[in-house]
Chain A
Amino acid sequence: EPEVTQTPSHQVTQMGQEVILRCVPISNHLYFYWYRQILGQKVEFLVSFYNNEISEKSEIFDDQFSVERPDGSNFTLKIRSTKLEDSAMYFCASSVDRARYGYTFGSGTRLTVV
């Protein structure tokens, strides 16, 4: 069964450093998303990406965050200057047709900012 692949599975970074989280969505999916989950809390939407541009973003997705689909297969989330409160599980997801058939999520990247 097709999978969404995320790398790395765990990343530890110093506060103030830049991090890039990587994702390979399912090949025939057109919509791409990033979500985060702070430990023990709900899953929060960050951004959606369609047709090579951001289609929607949340209040969390401020100027510190950016997304890219650099080569037609990878989908990346960059955090420019990490803060302690950015420590969370970050999930990439993709879908064929928005929410119609649900999203397929990756296994997540656990980001720890120290």
Chain B
Amino acid sequence: AQTVTQSQPEMSVQEAETVTLSCTYDTSESDYYLFWYKQPPSRQMILVIRQEAYKQQNATENRFSVNFQKAAKSFSLKISDSQLGDAAMYFCAWGSGAGSYQLTFGKGTKLSVIP
């Protein structure tokens, strides 16, 4: 079974600084996708960024970027120029390209942004 591990239950960052959230996963599949979802206090799940496992290039979306290390099964999220609105729970998730239909989520990292 696939597992997703987020080892940092809580993190904090100063406004305008950079923070990296860690995620590791375990799978025997070769066709899969990785995601970071943001859950603000409203509890809506918002897709932040996605990575296709067969692409070596790290995904980037504005201030958000990932460091995808396939051999190490690591998928960290970097947030640059942190803003107050970035404060939220962040969930790492894994999805199969051809097997299971479900997304497997990590337990989440609560990010606080200090003004």
A42 touches B44 (CB 8 A): no
B107 at the interface (CB under 8 A from A): yes
Chain B hits for A14, CB < 8 A: none
A55 at the interface (CB under 8 A from B): yes
Chain B hits for A91, CB < 8 A: 45
8 Å CB contact of A98 from B91, B101, B104, B108: B101
- Give the docked Cα–Cα distance between A107 and B104 (Å): 19
B103 at the interface (CB under 8 A from A): yes
* CB proximity to A under 8 Å, residues B48-81: 50
Interface size class, chain A = 20 to 34
B50 touches A107 (CB 8 A): no
B33 touches A48 (CB 8 A): no
8 Å CB contact of A101 from B42, B50, B104: B50
B96 at the interface (CB under 8 A from A): yes
Chain A hits for B103, CB < 8 A: 43, 45, 99, 103
Which residue numbers of B lie inside 8 Å of A, CB to CB?
32-33, 35, 37, 42-47, 50, 91, 93, 95-98, 100-108
Which residue numbers of A lie inside 8 Å of B, CB to CB?
31, 33, 37, 41-45, 48, 50, 55-56, 58, 89, 91, 93, 98-108, 110
